[in-house]
Amino acid sequence: MQEDKVGPGAYLALVFAAVFFSGLLGGNEWYGVFDFTTLNGTFGKVVSKVSLDGETLTTATSAFRGTGGNGAMDGFLFALGLIPAVMFALGMINVLEHYGALRAARRLLTPLLRPLLGIPGTTGLAMIGSLQSTDVGASLTRSLSDDGQLTENEKDVFAMFQFSAGAMITNFFSSGAILFTLVAIDGSTAVPTSIGACIGVMFIMKIVGANLMRLVLAITNKKVSR
């Protein structure tokens, strides 16, 4: 890929991408228009159960997958729900790439990603995306690799970064954060740490894991070339 000029528009596109995929502006306020997850939306809920509770009729609702699904059938419907996100993400990335975001990302992140993970700065957007969505991270990594921008070893190191604590931010906030609402018998908060500390530990370990992969690859490559 030729080294194009990186102008202010490219940096603006990059800042937009970082904010858009970070979940920073999530929620149904007006600024949600700058958030991927908010614009991606959700499927509506359908009634899954109706029961008579004394005099009142109560209905339970669930996602379009229904309740109690399992196996291949459930997996298919679950996967169906992932398709809009992948299409939306790659559509947006194509637009942002057109405005130079990827070039700006590479310019800014190369000096950091090389020493930290041994991967090129072009992976910056995929890395930002992977913290919020495994599918976005994986699809972007696949297209980078298909475009020949990642070597086989770099791809494995980056895959390792994504595979441990996949979609860390989204997953932790959608289920792990519940732990911090638990209370002990005496009414005090049960978990003696913060969400931020857990996120920090996970991010550090993701980098450690990727470097373990890097180390193993370096050792095995040496053995092969001997």
Partner 1 sequence: MSTPQSNPVITDIFVVGARKGWNIATSSTLPNVVMAFIIIKALEITGALKGLGILFSPLMGLFGLPGEAAAVLIGGWMSMGGGIGVAIGLFDKGIITGEHLAILAPAIYLMGSQVQYLGRILGVIGTNAKRIPLMIVISIINAFLAMLLMRIII
Site for partner 1 in 111-140 (CB under 8 A): 134-135, 137-139
189: Cα separation from own chain's centroid: 29
Segment contacting partner 1 by CB under 8 A, of 29-37, 38-46, 48-56, 172-180: 172-180
Asked if 23 and 37 touch (Cβ cutoff 8 Å), the reply is yes
Shortest spacing between CB 21 and partner 1, in angstroms? 14
Under 8 Å CB-to-CB from 19, ≥6 apart: which residues?
25, 34, 35
* 63 binds partner 1 per the rule CB under 8 A: no
Query: Nearer to partner 1 by C-beta: 112 or 197?
Result: 197
Q: Which amino acid is at 206?
A: K
Shortest spacing between CB 116 and partner 1, in angstroms? 16
Segment contacting partner 1 by CB under 8 A, of 20-28, 34-42, 51-59, 164-172: 164-172
Closest of 36, 14, 24 to residue 136, by C-alpha:
36
* 68 binds partner 1 per the rule CB under 8 A: no
Give SS3 for 103: helix
Shortest spacing between CB 194 and partner 1, in angstroms? 9
Segment contacting partner 1 by CB under 8 A, of 24-32, 55-63, 79-87, 111-119: 79-87
* 4 binds partner 1 per the rule CB under 8 A: yes
Closest of 170, 191, 210, 224 to residue 21, by C-alpha:
170
* 78 binds partner 1 per the rule CB under 8 A: yes
CA 144/CA 117 separation, integer angstroms: 16
Query: According to CB under 8 A, which one of 14, 93, 119, 131 is a site residue for partner 1?
Result: 93
In DSSP terms, 53 is beta-bridged to 56
